[in-house]
Amino acid sequence: MADKQMSSSIKLPSEERMRMSIFVNGKKKELEIHPAARLVDILREQLHLTGTKISCGIGRCGACSVIMNGRLVNACLVRAYQANEKEIVTIEGLAEKGLHPIQQAFLEEGGFQCGYCTPGMIMAVKAILDQYPNPTSQQIVDGLSGNLCRCTGYSGIIRAVQKLAEKETSRLDSKC
Amino acid sequence: MDYEEGKGLRLKQVCIRPDGVEKVTGHLKFLTDLSFPNMLFAKILRSEYPHANIVSISTEKAEELPGVRAVITSKDVLGLNGFGLIFPDQPVLCKDKVRFVGDAVAAVAAETEEIAEAALQLIEVEYEPLPVVDDPEQAMLPSSPQLHPNGNILHQASYQSGNVEEAFQSCDCIVEETYQLPRQMHAYMETEGGVFVPEKDGTLTVYAGTQHGYKDRYQLARILNMPEEDIRVVSSPLGGSFGGKDELNIQPYGALLALKTGFPVKIHQTRRESVRSGIKRHPMKIKMKTGAKKNGKIIAHQVRIIADTGAYATLGPAVLDFAVEHATGPYMIPNIQVEGYSVFTNNGVAGEFRGFGGNQVTFALEGQIDRLAVKLGMSPLELRQKNLRQAHDPGPVGQKIAPTDGAQQVLKQISQSKLLNSCRKQDHNGLIKTGVGVAITMHGGGLGYGRLDPAGGRISLNEEGKIEIAFGFEEFGQGLLAVIEQIAIRAIGCSREDLHIVIGDTYKVPRSGSSTASRGTSMVWQAIQRMKAPFQNSLLERASQCTDVPVSQLKIGEKGVWHQDELLISYKELAKQTIDKPLIIETRFDFPATPCSIPGGHFLYSFAACAVKVEVDLATGFVRVKHLEQAVAAGPVIFPQGYLGQIEGGSVMALGYTLTEEALIEKGTYVTENFDTYLIPTIKDVPLSIDITAIEELCEEDEYGPRGVGEIGTVAVAPAIAMAIYDATGIWVNKLPVSREEIVNKMMETEMSKWLTSK
Amino acid sequence: MKPVKFDYYSPKTVDEALTLLEEAGFDGKIIAGGQSLVPIMNMRLSSPECLIDINQLHDLQFIEFDSDKVKIGALTRQAEVERSDVVQKHLGLLSEAVPFIGHVQTRNRGTFGGSLVHADPTAEIPLSLMALGGTLHIASKEEVREVNVEDFFITYLTTDIMPNEMLTEIHIPIEQERNGYSFYEISRRHGDFALVASACQLTIDHLDRITNVRLVLGGVEATPLLIEGANEWMNGEVLSDSLLQKVEDIVDEMVDPESDIHATAEYRRHLSKKLAVRTVKSAYERARGEANERS
């Protein structure tokens, strides 16, 4: 193929490593990565953030869901380099001081069992609540349809999100 | 108990699981999250064919690939080249024959996963393809290619009572139907994997999830030709199992490669590898003929079960025994004839799966009852009531069982469901129809008569002053740790902070048997009941010796031993003062089985009744479960959140079984390889609320305490949905998953015949 | 599973991207949102030698209202289309169709142009665009050419775009007065590939007679199927059972679906008839409803 002549400024042959920087949970990381790497690989293998899980590898289960520049993405379908200069929030970045309210609600309502889908599920819930602080049932199921859970049957997850929504409602009510 | 009358089981009191915080924060390290210095990565080469002779295997090119550290084939298996929970007929690495597409032929350890995978491509295996045996009924014929030395019938089981042929003569109404059940995949979110670490002292540490660490150790010792004591199996936590990880999966390859290379080896199967190699629920074809008198008394029941067990035995025989035992369920029928065959084919491998053969026969049995009810013009609930077992009736195969009124309790409870009497609404153009259905079930716990089913546990006061409770059970999501914690706190009288719970490590735990067959909760409760008095007495005696206060004035409480509302001596202090004579109480016993000599016959049963409401779109055949209720009778509830979660999650797993899930195999090869084609329910496919009622009362003389509820929630759902579809459309479903196309076709046939007759 | 190795380029401008495409020839493959390409690369079903990642081409991310049309940049994420007020107001059909695409995660990454270029005959955006009509702007080093959507899809996963070209933007005419639309699809679960999908866009006059209709079916042919000639027998008609019966009959004649593990050809044929009727009916009702609201 013609790669010998290809524009050198933007050329990245396969054996070379690419340099990239990424902000993960608020911290800047400079990384050397392989062009074939996926975001989930650099999170788990290079940064040892194993909270983000891998399950189907084709974007159908949501176990690797993280938030990239404010939007929920499947980290198995994002090429590592596409995260260059981006801000990533993973499950490890959620609990700053004590537990995040979503995590607390999951604990109280049985929003998890084996816990393997849970990090991705919680990130998806965060994405819902970031967009709709007081989501309807429809918004909840729309926002979570990409995250599979085999243990709970989703009942505990729905209860957890509804509890958060109720809290939001009473917070708003008390403000008025 | 946190139970609100009439509102189903509700979580009034917040009780946080011991493993909860680590799970919601993502800090919990699953065994596939582990990494070690100098760790290698392994990949397994699986068969290209569902059935073939291996002519030759050449690994030279793979070995020469830079970064490859070891390639193993059958000649590298140090001990027995076979595994299997009942008998070891599945080769670790196939030598001259492959029998399914998941059969392992070679494995590679390399410096990276990519290199290991590239090396697999360089292994040259020459096969001589053989005819594929993909139909169990064909496989039973003598003319079929034989997959194993003893032929294609792995196991045969039967039960007979009375004389069905004669009884059918006197029936007023007979229903005969064949039911077909699909190959369901466990679809645990964490695929099989772990790390295998050769230790400096020559021992091997296995970090890989399983439902029974000691059993893995036993099987691995045989394969590695190593003493069991030299293998340490760390086996919890798991990202789901549902029966699917009880059998060995990747462990032999990781272990052999670790020993061969001398370095830690990690394996984590991709979803596609998991689908291809993992066990599944047995597809079954069940023929039932059931006859009743006009008054609704069922007098004859004839059953023939053919189970497709795939290429190897694993728990195939036990699953069939279970299906045969449960073929009459909670009904008292005088004339019964049940026969079952578990048949080898080249269709993957079928084995243990939540429900264990009960799901399949219950779908058929409850289908028969509903069809009979319609034929007799009787309400399905009334027909069930007429034939239902009473508290002191024998078990389904005539065996002595622990008295239980569970069948009556759950039927009564579900009969009161508002759902069953709710209005039937149709959308304005009549294209969406609503229907309701009910089904009930009884389900045996433990492994049953004639099977080694030992249990046990240990309580000690450890050096740190914690009350250490150790069990050889595993945590795969079901909430075992919370169950242990709740039972221990209540039994011993200490607080949760005083406890240290140890599971999932053969170096640290006693033998408790497998975390399977709904036995965990039951065994933990019974073990702690046995140990609590000796432990409490011994603890108080020591406290008395240390403090000179008589035992009679001492009380076990939070943080330590109390005297007159004051903490007299802390557990920590007590441990320090008695360090040279540690306090350890152990127990060993067997899960109770029926005294009658029926292989696999059970003694303890739990019960469930399920009611559902569905909507059927007549134009598309789309079925949506709008509401689901279950009443469960399984003794006292220990950990409400876990109980609820097991029944809710089990309900949805069964909903998937009924409506969308099927691991399709064509000519021995999987065509559903991942979650884009194997369709487990998403949050959009489930009813938004599932109402669970727990019936906790046991018979007065029952001393066996709480039963496990891991399986019971999955059993009655499918037949309830099938009945609801009939209620909505007049169409009987006899094959799962429900075919939308069939609903559409049958609706059109009905419309057409209406149109013809009206002309 | 990780994909095999490949050369990776990340151009910063359209011009750079086009130069790379020119040089890579048939080995080059553009990656945008990657929601279709990356799964098949992860599964090793596709291993392009040279991947040209256009995610840096921020100039191709826009939704603009321009008198009688809406312009959408090819790299615009599906989620932006879903959330866009402009789309909501002027291209109701798209607003209705986009939420059917995959899941939140998919739409946050997947692009409007990517879905068109991927040309899956069951996909929501190709179907909707076919119903809405519009032109696709296709650039090469030499020129930017415009192609009508009717001429864009060639066959299964194949479009009119040449290896040295890329899709840059799409222009879509806005809805007229007394307009109605409907999108409906049947998949095995929400978010899965549609077994059959149907999109309808129509306008009616003050007597509720149809004045223009575009009915499109997906999953029944190798490309989105525009029911041609529908105007000839629907224009001037008000909705009636006999008209809907005719819709069913014509669809039955025109579709030629195939069987796969998810559905048989016969079931797809059945669904295409039922969905066509459903979308025509609900588009018509919507047109009347909106007309009434406005009056």
- Asked if the C-beta of B682 comes within 8 angstroms of chain C's C-beta atoms, the answer is yes
pLDDT for the residue B421: 78
Backbone angles phi, psi at B129, to 5 degrees: -60, 140
Instruction: Give domain B31-130+192-268's CATH architecture.
Output: Alpha-Beta Complex (3.90)
Do residues A84 and A139 share a domain? no
β-strands A71-74, A27-33: how paired?
unpaired
* CB B353 within 8 Å of CB B280: yes
Domain co-membership, A110 together with A139 = yes
Alpha carbon distance A67, B532 (integer Å): 49
**Contact across the interface for C23 and A36, Cβ inside 8 Å:** no
Last residue of a domain, one of A67, A93, A119: A93
Q: Between residues A54 and C27, which one has the greater pLDDT?
A: A54
- Is the pLDDT score of A6 beyond 50? no
A contacts of C103 (beta carbons < 8 Å): 62, 145-147
pLDDT at position B143 is 96
Query: In chain B, which among 686-705 make CB contacts under 8 A with chain A?
Result: 686, 688-690
Answer yes or no: is pLDDT of A15 > 80: no
Could you tell me the pLDDT band of residue B5, with boundaries at 50, 70 and 90?
very low
Virtual torsion, Cα B398, B402, B405, B410, nearest 10 deg: -90
Q: What is the pLDDT of residue A166?
A: 84
**How many whole angstroms separate alpha carbon B55 and alpha carbon B65?**
23
* C15 close contact with A: CB closer than 8 A: no
Closest CA to C84 of C152, C147, C174: C174
Chain A residues whose C-beta sits inside 8 Å of any chain C C-beta: 1-3, 5-7, 10-15, 18, 34-38, 41, 57-60, 62, 65, 71-74, 76-79, 81-82, 84, 124, 127, 142-143, 145-147
Pairwise CA distance, residues A66 & B194, whole Å: 24
Looking at the structure, tell me whether residues A137 and A153 fall in a common domain: yes
**Hey, what are B387's tokens?**
């034939």
Indicate whether A76 and A138 sit together in one domain. no
Q: How many CB atoms lie within 10 A of CB B748?
A: 12
- Which CATH code of 3.30.750.24, 3.30.465.10, 3.40.640.10, 3.90.226.10 fits the domain covering C58-173? 3.30.465.10
Give me the mean pLDDT over the B423-444 stretch.
Answer: 83
Delimit the domains of chain C by residue range: 7-53, 58-173, 179-289
Same-fold call for B31-130+192-268 versus B280-448+597-753: no
Residue B9 pLDDT > 80: no
Task: Determine the distance from the C-alpha atom of residue B360 to the mean position of all C-alpha atoms in its chain, rounded to a whole number.
Answer: 13
Would you say residue A116 lies in a domain?
yes
Are B239 and A53 within 8 A, CB to CB? yes
- If asked whether residues A22 and A60 sit together in one domain, one would say yes
DSSP C142-210: S-EEEEEGGGTEEETTEES--TT-EEEEEEEEPP-TTEEEEEEEEESSTTSPEEEEEEEEEEE-TTS-E
Looking at the domain C179-289, which fold is it? Answer: Enolase-like; domain 1 (3.30.390)
The answer to whether the pTM exceeds 0.90 is yes
A21 shares a domain with A89: yes
Residue range B132-155: average pLDDT?
97
pLDDT digits 0-9 by tens, A86-123: 999 999 999 878 999 999 999 999 999 999 999 999 99
Query: Cβ atoms within 10 A of the Cβ of C265, count?
Result: 14
Contact list, A12 vs chain C (CB under 8 Å): 7-10
Does the pLDDT value for residue B186 go beyond 70?
yes
Per-residue pLDDT band for A176 (boundaries 50, 70, 90) equals low
For residue A25, the 8-state DSSP code is T
Q: What is the ipTM of this complex?
A: 0.96
Same domain, A108 and A86: no
Indicate the fold that domain C7-53 takes in CATH. Answer: 3.30.43
The verdict on residue A74 lying in a domain is yes
> Beta B104-110 vs B298-310: how paired, if at all?
unpaired
Contact criterion met (CB < 8 Å) for C190 and B622: no
Give A38-84 as a DSSP string: BHHHIIIIIS--TTS--SSSSSSS-TTEEEETTEEEETTSSBGGGGT
Q: Does B533 touch chain C (CB under 8 A)?
A: no
Task: Report the amino acid identity of residue C11.
Answer: P
How far apart, in whole angstroms, are the C-alpha atoms of residue B80 and residue B88? 9
Calculate the average pLDDT of chain A: 89
Q: B392: exposed, middle or buried (C-beta count within 10 Å: 0-12, 13-18, 19+)?
A: exposed
The answer to whether the CB atoms of C39 and A58 lie below 8 A apart is: yes
Q: Supply the CATH number for residue A156's domain.
A: 1.10.150.120
Chain mean pLDDT for chain B: 95
pLDDT grade, residue B758 (50/70/90)? Answer: low
Q: How many independent structural domains does chain A possess?
A: 2
Percent pLDDT > 90 in chain B is: 94
Question: Comparing B579 with B651, which gets the higher pLDDT?
Answer: B651
Q: Is B675 on the interface with A (CB under 8 A)?
A: yes
- At residue B641, the pLDDT reads 94
| The predicted structure's pLDDT at residue B318 | 97
- Residue A128 sits in which domain range? 101-175
pLDDT bucket at B4, cuts 50 / 70 / 90? very low
Neighbours of chain C (3+ CB pairs under 8 A): A, B
pLDDT in tens, C170-226: 999 999 999 999 999 999 999 899 999 999 999 999 999 999 999 999 999 999 999
**Shortest Cα–Cα distance, A160 to chain C (Å):** 19
Domain ranges of chain B: 31-130+192-268, 280-448+597-753, 454-501+510-590
Give me the pLDDT at residue B425, please: 61
Q: Could you tell me if B515 lies within 8 Å of chain A, comparing CB atoms?
A: no
| Chain C: closest CA distance from residue A89 (Å) | 14
Q: Is the pLDDT at C246 greater than 80, yes or no?
A: yes
Inform me whether the C-beta atom of residue C39 falls under 8 Å from chain A C-beta atoms: yes
Q: What is the pLDDT of residues C262-272, one digit of tens each?
A: 999 999 999 99
Report the alpha-carbon distance of residue B695 to residue B222 in Å, rounded.
45
Residue B7 — very low, low, confident or very high, per pLDDT cuts 50/70/90?
A: very low
pLDDT tens per residue across span B677-730? 999 999 999 998 799 999 999 999 999 999 999 999 999 999 999 999 999 999
User: Residue A29's domain is classified under what CATH number?
Assistant: 3.10.20.30
Residue A142 lies in a domain: yes
Stated as kind and residue range, the H or E segment containing B104 is: strand B104-110
C-alpha C172/C-alpha C178 separation (Å) is: 18
Interface residue B178 vs chain C (CB under 8 A): no
- Helix/strand/coil percentages in chain B, nearest 5: 30, 25, 45
Burial string for C20-39 (b: 16+ CB within 10 Å, else e) reads bbbbbeebbbbbbbbbbbbb
3-state secondary structure of B42: strand
Give the mutation candidate from A25, A44, A109, A116 for the B interface (greatest B CB count, under 10 A): A116
Per-residue DSSP letter, B424: -
Question: What is B280-448+597-753's CATH topology?
Answer: Aldehyde Oxidoreductase; domain 4 (3.30.365)
CATH class of B454-501+510-590: alpha beta
Taking the CA of residue C168 and the nearest CA in chain A, the distance in Å comes to: 19
Closest of C66, C1, C91, C90 to residue C39, by C-alpha: C1
Q: Is C154 on the interface with A (CB under 8 A)?
A: no
Q: How many interchain CB pairs under 8 A, A with C?
A: 130
Show residues of chain B in contact with A50, CB under 8 Å: 26, 29-30, 33
Return the structure tokens found at B619. Answer: 């134009």
Which of B233-242, B530-539, C32-41 has the lowest average pLDDT? C32-41
Q: Does a structural domain hold residue A7?
A: no
Asked which of A93, A116, A149 is the last residue of a domain, the reply is A93
| Confidence class for position A160, pLDDT limits 50, 70, 90 | very high
Among A38, A73, A93, the domain-final residue is A93
Q: Is there a single domain that holds both residue A84 and residue A21? A: yes
CA-to-CA distance for B526 and B702, rounded, in angstroms? 12
CA of B474 vs chain A CAs: smallest distance (Å):
11
Bridge-partner residues for B438, per DSSP?
Answer: B611
Nearest to B19 by CA among B728, B504, B584, B614: B504
Confidence of residue B471 (pLDDT cuts 50, 70, 90): very high
